[in-house]
Structure 1
Amino acid sequence: MSPKVQQLGTKVSIVEQFRRRQIVQGAISTIAGHGLAHASLSRIAAEAGVSRGVISYHFDGRDELIEQVVTALFTDTNRYIKDHVDRAEGAQAKLRAFIESSFAFMAAHRANFVALVDIWGSFGSPQAKRRFNATMYDPCRRHVQSILRLGQSEGCFRAFDTSTLATTIQGAIDGVMLQWVFDESAVDLAACSAELVAMFEGTTRA
């Protein structure tokens, strides 16, 4: 393959990635604003500023698009959290960074979580729920668990079951998120973040 053809292929790939991302963002905004039940391809296309045909070119129907929306929601969240955790030094600082960055990302991307909760409540089959759980909770729990294990190896965290506590920490974060999605004015994310940091710093301390 000639260098010009390779370069053209790279440009096409970048353009396609940009277009897919544009459509996914349009779907997120549509679901957040109108609900999954009313997020037709036509409405998503209008929100994304493309034709319905462009969506059909990049995605094999609405179901595949929604799957990509779920993937994007968690990929973006997890990347943001990981970047902040990786910059922190030591397990205690990493645990604080995990909690604080979780809430910071929520505050900056409310539409993501409104859309997520609506999608979350729309899965009907047990198989779909398990797939969603594998996409959503497993990576989060493993990330928190790795921080907790690090803290135990450093001697700054007491002995406890890391899987159980990782589940509890993620559950506390998601519980606040749900209440905030349902009633934004009733939940102070920054205050909740600070309380959870204090709570879990206390309960993990050796």
Structure 2
Amino acid sequence: MQQESSSRVADAVGDVSARVRQVIGEVGCSQREFARRIVMDPSKLSRSLGGSRRFTVAELARIADAGDVDAAWLLGSGAGAGARSGPRRGNGDAGGNAASAAPEGGRPLQIVRETVRLIAESGFHAVRVSDIAEACETSTAAIHYHFPGRAELLEAAIRWCMDEDTARRAARTAEARDAADELRQLIDLQIPSSPQQRRQWLVWLDLWAEAARSTAVGQLHVDYYRQWRTTVADVIRRGITQGVFREVDPEFAALHLTALIDGLAAQALATAPAPDRLGARPGTEPQADGAETMRTALLAHVETELAAKPAP
């Protein structure tokens, strides 16, 4: 297979797609889960497998990492009849930089996790590829092998945060007693009281600024917020049916509540104690005043604007 100048791989007869399907089958997970592991839009993966879109070189590098196969085999230039029996990468990194141990979840996810951490600490434009490479204990060549540019890294960071947020919401609300309890659980997940929650909010604030300047990032931002508001609207709609919420317009109520969450979270983060905004200073805990004020205000909003009033 030939690599095109656009960094998309020609696949006229479907050989590359067939090998990727083989890798997914050998890994033993769903197509959506595989997309999450390689930090790729599931719809792009589906279109590439179906032949209406070509894989990029970087995407195939991440697929090779997740499937523990040689990227050359995916391209049809390596020996071996099967994904697991085909040539392995062996050195763990591009550019001959041997890795002593494979990072948890694979190199692409490690790169994205460290990118998110560094964005939270310093802001996206202050983070250099060399910083990410140092955090991952690898080379800058390995970073570019999986994510050729900052745009790809930013998109991957957004997608990873979206997936993590969605997974936490599903786990947290699985055993909610009713819609009112489910909404309280969703609100609690948005309170920047723990280091992890604060880190994610700091990343979101940085990404909002990027979304205003970038069409690609802006579309991801729109898609995520559409999903988030739909989740909240569905909970409110169920609450109305259950009688725990009053008759309101679920979509407008969700828009109002999510906007209030965003504004209060920004204020809570802006008043965080310096210099450590992530609450990781040894021997101390982050101040919870802003977070607790946010929680109190949000629960008060739910009580006054949504909660069903008891019958007189």
**Contact 2:192/2:198 (<8 A) preserved:** no
Residues 1:168 and 2:256 are matched in the alignment = yes
Residues 1:203 and 2:256 are matched in the alignment = no
Aligned-residue sequence identity (percent) comes to 23
Residues 1:13 and 2:66 are matched in the alignment = yes
The whole-number CA distance in structure 1 between the counterparts of 2:194 and 2:226 is 19
Tell me whether 186-195 or 64-73 shows the greater mean CA deviation: 186-195
**1:136 corresponds to which of 209, 212, 224:** 224
1:100 alignment partner in structure 2: 188
- Mapping 1:76-95, distance limit 5 Å: 76-95=164-183
1:156 alignment partner in structure 2: 244
Cα distance, 1:104 vs structure 2:
5.9
Cα distance, 1:106 vs structure 2:
5.7
Aligned Cα root-mean-square deviation (Å)? 2.7
Q: Tell me which amino acid in the other structure corresponds to 1:82.
A: A
| Number of positions where the alignment pairs a residue of Structure 1 with one of Structure 2 | 201
Cα distance, 1:12 vs structure 2:
5.2
Cα distance, 1:124–1:188 mapped onto 2, change above 3 Å: closer
2:17 alignment partner in structure 1: none
In structure 1, list runs of 5 or more residues that go unmatched.
none
- Mapping 1:39-78, distance limit 5 Å: 39-78=127-166
What TM-score comes out, normalization by structure 2 length? Answer: 0.57
The whole-number CA distance in structure 2 between the counterparts of 1:96 and 1:44 is 36
Cα distance, 1:13 vs structure 2:
2.1
Q: CA-to-partner distance for each residue in 1:143-163, whole Å, 9 max, x for gaps? A: 100101101111221111111
Cα distance, 1:176–1:35 mapped onto 2, change above 3 Å: same
Q: Which has the larger radius of gyration?
A: 2
In structure 2, list runs of 5 or more residues that go unmatched.
1-21, 28-63, 68-101, 274-286
Q: Tell me which amino acid in the other structure corresponds to 1:27.
A: T
Cα distance, 1:105 vs structure 2:
7.1
Cα distance, 1:126 vs structure 2:
6.6
**Contact 1:141/1:166 (<8 A) preserved:** yes
The whole-number CA distance in structure 1 between the counterparts of 2:193 and 2:66 is 28
The whole-number CA distance in structure 1 between the counterparts of 2:123 and 2:222 is 23
Tell me whether 14-23 or 47-56 shows the greater mean CA deviation: 14-23
Point out 4+ residue stretches in structure 1 off by more than 4 angstroms: 14-17, 104-107
Cα distance, 1:67–1:167 mapped onto 2, change above 3 Å: same
Q: Tell me which amino acid in the other structure corresponds to 1:204.
A: L
What TM-score comes out, normalization by structure 1 length? Answer: 0.84
Structure of higher RCO (CA pairs closer than 8 Å, 6+ residues apart): 1
